[in-house]
A and B are shown apart, each in its own frame.
Chain A
C-alpha cells in the first residue's frame, strides 16, 4: 500500500462547480497534513494545512479523519484559476519529511 493515495483523476468540471478530492494515508503516526497546489511546470505551493477539527479558507474546505486515515479537500464555486494539480501531503511522524501523493489534476472549464 502506498503511503499516500489520492483519487487518480483527472477531474474536468465547469466553472462554478463543487469538486471534492479524497486522500488516504497509511502511517498512523503521521502528525501533520496538507494540501499543496502545483501548476504545470511550477513548484508545489502550500494551499492549506489540514486540522482534525476541519478548516476552511474561503472556497476551500479541508477535513481530516484520523480514525479512517482519510483527508479531503472541497472546492466550492470553482474558478478557471483553480486549474492545477492538487497534492495530498502527509508528514509521516518525522516532523520534516513530507510524503506526497501522486496528485490529482483539476481542469475547470469555462
Chain B
C-alpha cells in the first residue's frame, strides 16, 4: 500500500517568507508526527497529533511554527517569517495508534532558506 507522502520534496525560499509543508499519512493511521532533521543530526521531534488535535507541540522551536490536521488525516506544517536556521529536512511520520507502534516516515521535505 501507499506509504507516507510529503510535498513538496524540495522547497527553496527566501528569508522572511511563509512556507507550508504537507504530509499525507498512511490511510487509517490516527497518529501523525513531525520531526526536523538538520545536517549531521538525528531527527528531532516537533509535534504529535492524535486525530485532529495536537496532543504535544512541545518540540516546536518558537511561535513561527504551527501545524494543523483539520480532518484527522492530512497535516500541514506552517512556518512564518522563515530564517536561515530553519533550513533542514522536515520529516512526517504516522502510526496506527498511540502506544508502541512503529512510526513510518515519509521521504521528507528539504527546506532551504536563502
Contact A97 B105 (CB under 8 A): no
A100 at the interface (CB under 8 A from B): yes
B residues 5-47 in Cβ contact with A at 8 Å: 31, 33, 35, 40-45
* A44 in contact with B56 given A96-B31, A96-B33 (CB within 8 Å): no
Query: When chains A and B are docked, how far (Å) is the Cα of A39 from the Cα of B49?
Result: 27
Contact A99 B107 (CB under 8 A): no
Query: When chains A and B are docked, how far (Å) is the Cα of A46 from the Cα of B102?
Result: 7
Contact B105 A87 (CB under 8 A): no
With a CB–CB cut-off of 8 A, which chain B residues contact A55?
Answer: none
Query: When chains A and B are docked, how far (Å) is the Cα of A100 from the Cα of B33?
Result: 14
* A42 in contact with B102 given A87-B42, A96-B56, A97-B48 (CB within 8 Å): no
B103 at the interface (CB under 8 A from A): yes
Contact B98 A43 (CB under 8 A): no
Contact B48 A102 (CB under 8 A): no
Contact A100 B105 (CB under 8 A): no
User: Quick one: which of B31, B42, B48, B106 contacts A43, CB cutoff 8 A?
Assistant: B106
Contact A43 B107 (CB under 8 A): yes
Contact A100 B43 (CB under 8 A): yes
Contact A96 B98 (CB under 8 A): yes
Nearest neighbor of A43 in chain B, beta-carbon distance: B105
B111 at the interface (CB under 8 A from A): no
How far does the Cβ of A10 sit from chain B's closest Cβ, in whole Å?
11
Query: When chains A and B are docked, how far (Å) is the Cα of A100 from the Cα of B55?
Result: 20
The 13 listed contacts between A and B (C-beta, < 8 Å) are A43-B91, A43-B107, A43-B108, A46-B103, A87-B43, A95-B99, A96-B31, A96-B98, A96-B99, A97-B45, A97-B56, A100-B43, A102-B41
Interface on A for B, CB 8 Å cutoff?
4, 32, 42-46, 87, 89, 94-103
